[in-house]
Amino acid sequence: MLKKYSLKKQFILTFALVLGCSIISVTLTACLALGMLNGKSIKAANYYEKKIYNIEKYINTKNDKLLNSGYEKEFNKIIPSKGIKYKVLDLESNNSYGNLDEKLYSQSDMINKINTSDVDKKNNVTKYIPIVTENYKLKGVVILYYKLVVTSDSIPQILISLITFIVLISPFIYIVFFSYLFGKILSKNINDPLGKLKYATEKIKENNLDFNIEYPYNNELGQIILSFEEMKNELKNTLNKQWNMEEERKEIISGLSHDLRSPLTIIKGKVEMLLEGSYKNEDRLISYLDSIDKSTDRSIELVNDLNLINKLDSSDFNINPTSNNVLDFLNQQIDNFKDLSESKQIKINLTTENIEQDAKYTFDKNSIIRVMDNLVSNAIRHTQLNGEIDIKVTLYKSKLYFKISDNGNGFSNDDLKFALNKFYRGDKSRSAKSGNSGLGLYICKAIVEKHNGQINISNNSLGGAQVSFYLKLN
């Protein structure tokens, strides 16, 4: 009921509910008490106090005649027998009558008490009224005794006292009761989210982050739980990143050992054969040395690729953009692949759109050369004899779009999913034959992203492979 409110408002509302319910309950209790006593002859606590005036008036009228015991019956009619006790005392003769067993004082003490009233701790009142002659001579005293309590002629005094006591203490009883009741509700409202937080901390202690804590209310506790959930998710993401980095490190080590094994095995085998005497045959010596040279270059290239990946993956790595003529750059790249493409009788077609002859744009030339070398050499490698490779470059809204297509076998379904991942080799036999380390496309992807661009792979309408990427230019 109160959970949706802030803690401050919950405390205020809880206090208001305790106070309001207590007031209502006390009012109903008082009404119930009055209902129980309704129709009964209930007399107020000062009921007999009000009778004293008429009694004093009567005493003053009779004067010293009242000392005569013959007036006792008449006096009894004036004084309520159930509520007031009295004694008439003659100070000269010490004679007295009445129904009050009052301790008699000395004449001097009695004179000092005249026209006074004594009230004890139980609200019992003793009043002393003088009896004087017509000449105002003090002759005696009337002692009246009554109680300042609620009374009734038909209800026992103990029941009236009990009802009065209950009504008087009911505010405290109701405040304690409703404080406990609404305090328990408030405590539950606070303990529920705290319990969720405790559960969450226990899970984290157990290294278990696969849980969710939910709290539907946007108060202080809800904000704490939301922050805790965000912290848990961030911690989970961080740990997942660390786990992925560790797996990637293992993958790099595994890939490096795998890729270095082949050229090193070749080198070791050729060296062993040379040591066994094959160097005496000049043709075989040249062949072995050439194989050792190529395997050494392959090993160096692989190590260089790994170093480049480490640099590209580092947040501190920055590209070095320079101003370049795009058309000159593209023509130079085509010329670089002329010998390789002609060896397989492959035709490379270059088309451009919206690029002016002398237009210069800023990008990291060496990095993009690396991208073009990798993509075009891959296209040549997987294109059959007499095939074609189309390179289209378009300038549009400060972005340079590249599209490299061939009419080879294209990408497999697995290639389309994973070819841009580190150490992905696709066809294992083809990769081994071509010396593919599975790093080329990943390096291309990293370089393009450093230029705030994006790279995508697909198959063209002829079934061949197609790689598209763009660079944001300054």
Q: What pLDDT digit, counting tens, does each position of 257-283 carry? A: 766 777 788 888 888 887 887 777 778
Fold of domain 238-312: Helix Hairpins (1.10.287)
Nearest-5° Cα angle at 196, 195 to 200: 115
Band the pLDDT of 217: cuts 50, 70, 90. confident
pLDDT category of residue 448 using cuts at 50, 70 and 90: very high
What is the separation, in whole angstroms, between the first and last Cα of the chain? Answer: 60
pLDDT digits (tens, 9 = 90+) for 176-210: 999 999 999 889 888 888 888 898 888 888 888 88
Structure token pair of residue 31:
């009404």
Helices (H) and strands (E) in the chain, counts: 13, 14
Is residue 220's pLDDT more than 70?
yes
Helices 282-313 and 440-450 pack at an angle, to 10 degrees, of 40
Compute the distance between CA of residue 251 and CA of residue 17 in angstroms, rounded to an integer: 65
How would you classify the pairing of strands 85-90 and 96-98?
antiparallel
Count CA atoms closer than 13 A to 370's CA, side-chain side: 22
pLDDT band, residue 22 (cuts 50/70/90): very high
Residue 81: count other Cβ atoms within 10 Å of its Cβ. Answer: 10
In this structure, whether the domain defined by 45-149 belongs to CATH 3.90.550 is answered with: no
Fold classified for 319-472: Heat Shock Protein 90 (3.30.565)
Distance of CA 42 to the CA centre of its chain: 62
